[in-house]
Chains A and B, each alone.
Chain A
């Protein structure tokens, strides 16, 4: 038993296992409150909601693995939503499906600008993505004329966000599964994946080993922008219309999910499985807090305290003397 515990502590899987245990614990606490928490319907609904956060967290994780951080999530999500709805308005029936890639492309373009700033201009990612966030906000305000846009989500977007096409699995969850599988493949089976971990550990060493570290950084930020925008497109389909500041609720939970899943905030270490567990954990926590009808105040306090408490359990750094 102790040998197992010791091996677990030495391995890199401890955070994932601990986060999964916390998720199960949360479910048990919830089921004491109401039987519904263990029903398949409720769990599928939670996974459907989690897939929006899951998409954002996928992009956030890639950037965090590099040792950066993407603070442009709120308005890139909005860019995805607003631009896809707007494209649907411009192109009429022909744009019904085309609107989806267009929204994602817009987010990807912002991501590329992020990448250029961080990789080639060497501006710290925290401040550059903040600036892009402000620019994206400005562009959306100009584009929509300062009002809530009248454009509605197309039926295709609605279907993608709320339908259940395969075996009763919600479509957004399918999207997340596909994106997640691609990310797993990218991180563990490609040279780009190795390069991402390499840059996160030591960009100098990666550069000296022949990795074009700046292109790797650029690519990750582009993917992160696309992921945020994709979440925005899905969210627009889910709520049938795009609105300003629709992404405000995603920045902090995305970073929290990545970190709770065991990815090191300074980069170089972490697994995608952990991020998945972290996303589910955060979504369940939010759901349970709202089902228990705790006022907003208590929700914020518990939310923050739970993150700190869980990180204190398994996310602590090393002592100086080590």
Chain B
């Protein structure tokens, strides 16, 4: 029994490291912040962090199967633009709008998956191209930034619950419990990890590789559209910006890596990615409270990102056989 507990701890070590790092940085942030631990500060931090956290979760799923989804940022933007048109009017209309946005996101993901599975193309180039398509659609929906969103719903989700808990964190928890946990515990989730560690072996063991990939990419699209929907609630508008899409895609990959998921697939969890995303976001805010000259912020952020991903090089010190360096 005790061995079992140890094994689990070791398996999720990267995830715990990311969580500890987040707690550390966030404590520093709160300590340095002028007003400190107050509800508005927490709510703002949560609103910004959860957006990236959900997109990072979306990125995690394809990465587990040793694929990648470079279109998550664009699906995120597309969902944002779609929501700024649809999630308006009476509560009933807004609810229908939310469903349509989520369905559209899932459809985008499904298209990615279908091209990868049935078209037998590489995920990286497929999602690069479909990303351009989704961005074009977003641009068609919102040639100029604007639009509106159901104010009641937006205020409820971006505010704080009684007791001072940011509502966004509850949304994040709900997404984890409703999407990630069932996925991870299902046969499909195990199959996704199996594909990531050894695709040929998974195929030989009778894993339905096509269906697993399809589910994985569809869920990634769904999660990205949840992120885009939440962005609409935060900004009260829709904007088709290639820069936003690009930044979210790239940061989602960085968050996945910081969260301990291997880019080669087969190991990791979306929980780690959530903490990875929160770490990335808090580092950005940290520069703000330390009164660093704004000019140096992009450089500082880049160096931190580079240092974080280079930390993995420490494992090289433990390699006995030099051949193990090369996969």
Instruction: Tell me if chain B binds chain A.
Output: yes
Give residues in A with beta carbon < 8 Å to B: 69, 71, 117, 121-124, 126-128, 130-139, 141-142, 145-146, 203-204, 207-208, 213, 252, 255-256, 259, 265-266, 295-305, 307-308, 311-312, 315-320
Q: Which residue of A lies closest to B242 (CB)?
A: A248
Query: Given known contacts A69-B124, A146-B295, is B115 in contact with A308 (CB within 8 Å)?
Result: yes
Q: Is the CB of A123 within 8 A of B139?
A: no
Q: Tell me the dominant secondary structure on chain B's binding face.
A: helix
Q: Using Cβ atoms and an 8 Å threshold, which residues of chain B touch A141?
A: 295, 298-299
Q: Using Cβ atoms and an 8 Å threshold, which residues of chain B touch A213?
A: 326
Query: Given known contacts A135-B299, A203-B327, A204-B326, is B130 in contact with A128 (CB within 8 Å)?
Result: no
CB distance from A41 to the nearest CB of B (A): 30
CB distance from A255 to the nearest CB of B (A): 6
Q: Is the CB of A255 within 8 A of B295?
A: no
The answer to whether the Cβ of B31 comes within 8 Å of any Cβ in the partner chain is no
The answer to whether the Cβ of B300 comes within 8 Å of any Cβ in the partner chain is yes
The answer to whether the Cβ of B175 comes within 8 Å of any Cβ in the partner chain is no
Alpha-carbon distance between A204 and B321 when the two chains are bound, in angstroms: 12
Q: Is the CB of A317 within 8 A of B125?
A: no
Q: How many residues on the B side are at the interface (Cβ–Cβ under 8 A)?
A: 51
Total CB contacts across the A-B interface at under 8 A? 160
Q: Using Cβ atoms and an 8 Å threshold, which residues of chain B touch A252?
A: 128, 132
B136 in complex: contacting residue of A124, A266, A301, A315, CB < 8 Å? A301
Alpha-carbon distance between A133 and B305 when the two chains are bound, in angstroms: 10
Q: Is the CB of B309 within 8 A of A127?
A: yes
14 examples of A-B residue contacts, CB within 8 angstroms: A121-B312, A130-B250, A131-B302, A132-B302, A138-B298, A138-B303, A141-B299, A142-B295, A146-B294, A204-B323, A300-B139, A304-B136, A311-B125, A312-B121
Scoring B136, B316, B323 by chain A CB atoms within 10 A of each residue's CB, the highest score goes to B136
Q: Using Cβ atoms and an 8 Å threshold, which residues of chain B touch A295?
A: 143
Query: Given known contacts A265-B122, A308-B129, is B135 in contact with A137 (CB within 8 Å)?
Result: no
Alpha-carbon distance between A297 and B115 when the two chains are bound, in angstroms: 22
Q: Using Cβ atoms and an 8 Å threshold, which residues of chain B touch A301?
A: 132-133, 136-137, 140
Q: Is the CB of B122 within 8 A of A123?
A: no
Q: Is the CB of B125 within 8 A of A265?
A: yes
The answer to whether the Cβ of B109 comes within 8 Å of any Cβ in the partner chain is no
Q: Which residue of A lies closest to B258 (CB)?
A: A127
Q: Is the CB of A121 within 8 A of B313?
A: yes
